[in-house]
């Protein structure tokens, strides 16, 4: 199958396939969809190439498969923001205040002009 270099989709899910996924499938550089879920596959999932882009759902239901995507991911830690001494964090600055004020005035004016607030009657 690795000789089919232009293969874009390979879905053999729910087929009772057994064995290992051949490492040679990594050479299929055009492969955009790959699904071997709910078979009887075992061993390691090939790493590299397009295999790094396939979701964990493409491999689920195979009790013997070992794949990085099947394990829960660790949440990355964001380092705390450290401000220089004497500086305060500003969430609402003058640019925000001016923009919010102009937006409010334009919204209210639009409501009055359309007659949504006061009937023209």
| Cα radius of gyration rounded to whole Å, the chain | 28
Q: How many CA atoms lie within 13 A of 38 on its CB side?
A: 4
- Yes or no: say if 65 and 45 are a contact pair by the CB < 8 Å rule: yes
Q: In angstroms, rounded to a whole number, what is the distance separating the alpha carbons of residues 109 and 69? A: 53
Tell me what the mean pLDDT of segment 108-121 comes to.
77
pLDDT at 100: 93
The tokens for 3 are: 């000789």
Tell me what the mean pLDDT of segment 89-110 comes to.
88
- Reference 36, options 21, 53, 24; nearest CA is 21
The whole model's pTM is what? 0.54
Largest CA distance in the chain: 78
pLDDT at 49: 83
pLDDT at 39: 94
pLDDT at 17: 93
Residues in Cβ contact with 25 at an 8 Å cutoff, skipping those fewer than 6 apart: 1, 2, 10, 31, 34, 46, 51
- 3-62 residue pLDDT tens: 777 889 999 999 999 999 998 888 888 899 999 999 999 998 888 888 888 988 999 999
pLDDT at 68: 59
- 47-98 residue pLDDT tens: 888 888 898 899 999 988 886 554 444 455 566 667 778 877 777 788 889 9
């Amino acid at each position: 199958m690795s000789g089919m270099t232009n293969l874009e989709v390979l879905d053999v899910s729910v087929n009772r396939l057994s064995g290992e996924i051949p490492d040679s499938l990594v050479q299929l550089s055009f492969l955009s969809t790959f699904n071997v879920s709910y078979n009887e596959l075992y061993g390691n999932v090939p790493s590299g190439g397009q295999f790094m882009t396939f979701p964990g759902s493409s491999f689920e239901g195979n009790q013997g498969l070992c794949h990085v995507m099947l394990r829960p991911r660790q949440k990355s830690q964001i380092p705390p923001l450290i401000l220089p001494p004497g500086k305060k964090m500003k969430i609402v600055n003058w640019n925000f205040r001016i923009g919010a004020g102009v937006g409010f005035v334009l919204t209210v004016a639009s409501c009055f002009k359309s007659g949504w607030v006061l009937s023209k009657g």
